[in-house]
């Protein structure tokens, strides 16, 4: 029988070749032509190569300089106290809380990508989850600096934690600030566990690939003796899925509880029931923007276009737009509530935002978070790394402005006009902010050099040979 006779009827194509327009051809999540070996070698070589690229040293050097600024700022803060910051009466929360919320928000994308997209079976998450999880951990580390240092006497920070003590004192568990301690520390711990569990099989790969004795020992210790047994994989996948299920409500709870820091207070501009969803949407928006900000240069620099394809960038752009629009909707709702409440303080709060001394911040916020994400409606922009980067930068700035608008703008006009004031960050506030970026980049550069930035074993499961293998179904 001739070969062509075996072709099923529906597979016979007309002889005149139909040209499928390019926009209907799906972009793959993994470029074709890879094998288990090539995927393993490509990603592990970035870590295991002997020669460190010059660009890495440049980036690492810059992050070290910024870290130096952070160290100087913290030293002065510990010696002098929070008086070096711009906070005053009535604005008791300034850059410290703005930056804390900004970083925590950025830290939401990692767990969202790892957990929620895993449960939703979004396979494209595989290429970016490790990177985003690392980013989460470092953002939470940067965020953690602020509440620890804004207490004024950070050497007493352990008082935040409940422990039986000779003073017979206990924390006030009814306070949102205590909820925050538990939410953020739980989030940091669970994110670290999730990240480490994901790393174990890849550390085993690095152990087996490494030729350097010391590196072999260190990766080997991290791998805990992982040998890829089917029984181990079975429990591993089970544990990973359970962790994803646990992290999903966790990630939503963290920014909810952060928003309670404000919503439980009676300040107009804070005391609003829509704060939890508004903050969570903002966190996802900020997180995806930061993943794009970091992934686009990293993809180019480490030649990872085969693994982080245009599909990933485009999907992240879509998520960024969707959450950006939710955030913008919240600004509209906020204005409507102020009007509809009929409360003179609430109305004044919004008028003060839009026309008061900080109105420029508010307008910039609307441009960054309200208008800029709409660029993502156009496929031309969604598929252009440069435009994605620009939109993401708008979002990064916009989310910082949002917290500025919420915190000092709500506080600086108190209920009593006699206590009105103004707030400006001092050079130490800025030093701390820029310094925390240094800490973030410092950790990120170390991660890029010493750990696989893409989950190798999960990429292996994406290959057609792996997808074709099937056991006896039950």
Partner 1 sequence: MALGKVIEGTYGVIAEFGEPQELLDAANAAREAGYTELDAYSPFPIHGLSDAIGFHHSRLSAVVLGGGIIGGLAGFFMCWYANVVWYPLNIGGKPYNSWPAWIPITFECTILFAAFAAVFGMLALNGLPMPYHPVFNVPRFDQASRDKFFLVIQARDPKFDIDAVWKFLESLGPREVTDVPW
Binding site for partner 1 (CB under 8 A): 35-37, 40-41, 162, 168-174, 178-179, 182-183, 186, 189-190, 193-194, 196-197, 201, 204-205, 207-209, 220-221, 224-239, 242-243, 246-247, 249-250, 253, 257, 260, 457-458, 460-461, 465-466, 468-474
Tokens of residue 293, six digits: 């900000």
Judging by beta carbons within 10 Å of its beta carbon (0-12, 13-18, 19+), is residue 101 exposed, middle or buried? buried
Residue ranges of alpha helices (H) inside 407-471 are 408-411, 427-450, 456-462, 464-468
Least distance (Å) between residue 221 CB and partner 1: 8
CB of 131 to partner 1, least distance (A): 19
**430 and 98 Cβ atoms separated by less than 8 Å:** no
Which C-beta is closer to partner 1: that of 141 or that of 181? 181
Residue 21 in tokens: 């327009």
Q: Work out how close the CB of 50 gets to partner 1 at its nearest, in angstroms, rounded to a whole number.
A: 19
**Closer to partner 1 by Cβ: residue 198 or 425:** 198
CB-wise, 71 or 224, nearer to partner 1? 224
The dihedral of CA 441, 445, 446, 450: what is its sign?
positive
Burial of 321 (0-12, 13-18, 19+ CB in 10 A): buried
Nearest-approach distance from CB 153 to partner 1, in angstroms: 21
CB 432 within 8 A of CB 103: no
Q: Which residue has the tokens 């290429």?
A: 127
Task: Give me the least distance between CB of 182 and partner 1, in Å please.
Answer: 4
Nearer to partner 1 among residue 159 and residue 340 (C-beta) = 159
Between residues 398 and 452, which has the closer beta carbon with respect to partner 1?
Answer: 452
Is the separation of the CB atoms in 46 and 449 below 8 Å?
no
Shortest gap between Cβ of 84 and partner 1 (angstroms)? 33
> Which residues lie closer than 8 Å to 157 by C-beta, 6 or more apart?
148, 151
In the bound complex, what is the minimum distance in angstroms from residue 415's beta carbon to partner 1? 19
Please say whether the beta carbons of 31 and 309 come within 8 A.
yes
Closest CB to partner 1 among residues 66, 183: 183
- Least Å distance, CB 466 to partner 1, is 6
**Residue placing its CB nearer to partner 1 in the complex, 221 or 422:** 221
Give me the least distance between CB of 208 and partner 1, in Å please: 4
Whether the CB-CB separation of 64 and 397 falls below 8 Å is answered with no
Rank residues 306 and 334 by Cβ distance to partner 1 and give the closer one: 306
- Whole-angstrom Cα Rg for the chain: 25
**Which residues 6+ apart lie within 8 Å of 167 measured at CB?**
none
| Residue 159 half-sphere exposure toward CB, CA atoms < 13 A | 13
- Residue 19 DSSP one-character state: P
| Contact call for residues 269 and 410 (beta carbons, < 8 A) | yes
Nearer to partner 1, 224 or 354 (CB): 224
Smallest separation, CB 303 to partner 1 (Å): 20
Q: Annotate 52-117 with DSSP letters as a single string.
A: PPHHHHHHHHHHHHHHHHHHHHHHHHHHH-GGGSS--SS----HHHHHHHHHHHHTHHHHIIIIIH
CA distance 126 to 118: 9
- For 313, residues 6+ apart whose C-beta sits below 8 A from its C-beta are 292, 295, 296, 382, 383, 385, 388
- Report the residue number, 143 or 257, with the smaller CB distance to partner 1: 257
């Amino acid at each position: 029988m001739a070969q062509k006779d075996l072709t099923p009827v529906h597979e016979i194509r007309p002889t005149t070749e139909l040209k499928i327009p390019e926009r209907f051809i799906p972009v793959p999540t993994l470029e074709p032509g890879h094998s288990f070996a090539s995927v393993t070698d490509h990603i592990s070589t970035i870590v295991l190569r002997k020669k460190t690229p010059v660009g890495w040293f440049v980036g690492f050097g810059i992050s070290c300089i910024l870290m130096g600024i952070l160290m100087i700022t913290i030293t002065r803060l510990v010696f002098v106290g929070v008086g070096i910051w711009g906070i005053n009466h009535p604005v008791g929360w300034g850059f410290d809380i703005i930056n804390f919320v900004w970083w925590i928000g950025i830290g939401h994308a990692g767990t969202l990508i790892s957990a929620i997209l895993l449960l939703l079976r979004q396979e494209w998450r595989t290429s970016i989850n490790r990177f985003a999880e690392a980013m989460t951990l470092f953002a939470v580390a940067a965020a953690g600096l602020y509440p620890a240092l804004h207490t004024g006497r950070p050497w007493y920070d352990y008082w935040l934690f409940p422990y039986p003590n000779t003073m017979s004192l206990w924390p006030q568990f009814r306070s949102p600030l205590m909820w925050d301690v538990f939410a953020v520390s739980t989030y940091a711990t669970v994110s670290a566990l999730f990240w480490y569990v994901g790393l174990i099989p890849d550390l085993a790969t690095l152990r087996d690939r490494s030729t350097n004795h010391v590196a072999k020992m260190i990766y080997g210790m991290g791998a805990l003796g992982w040998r890829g047994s089917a029984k181990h994989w079975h429990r591993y996948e089970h544990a990973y899925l359970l962790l994803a299920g646990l992290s999903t409500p966790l990630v939503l709870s963290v920014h909810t509880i952060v928003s309670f820091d404000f919503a439980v207070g009676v300040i107009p501009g804070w005391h609003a029931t829509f704060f939890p969803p508004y903050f969570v949407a903002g966190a996802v928006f900020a997180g995806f923007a930061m993943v794009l900000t970091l992934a686009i240069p990293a993809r180019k620099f480490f030649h990872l276009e085969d693994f982080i394809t245009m599909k990933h960038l485009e999907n992240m752009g879509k998520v960024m737009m969707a959450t950006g629009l939710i955030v913008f909707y919240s600004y509209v709702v906020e204005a409507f509530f102020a009007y509809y409440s009929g409360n003179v303080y609430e109305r004044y709060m919004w008028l003060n935002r839009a026309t008061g001394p900080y109105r420029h911040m508010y307008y910039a916020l609307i441009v960054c978070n309200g208008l800029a994400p709409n660029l993502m409606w156009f496929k031309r922009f969604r598929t252009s790394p440069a435009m994605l980067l620009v939109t993401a930068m708008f979002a990064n700035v916009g989310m910082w402005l949002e917290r500025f608008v919420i915190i000092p703008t709500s506080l600086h006009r108190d209920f009593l006009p006699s206590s009105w004031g103004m707030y400006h960050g001092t050079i130490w506030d800025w030093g701390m902010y820029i310094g925390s970026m240094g800490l973030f980049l410092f950790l990120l550069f170390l991660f890029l050099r010493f750990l696989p930035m893409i989950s190798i074993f999960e990429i292996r499961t994406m290959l057609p040979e792996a997808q074709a293998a099937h056991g006896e179904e039950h």
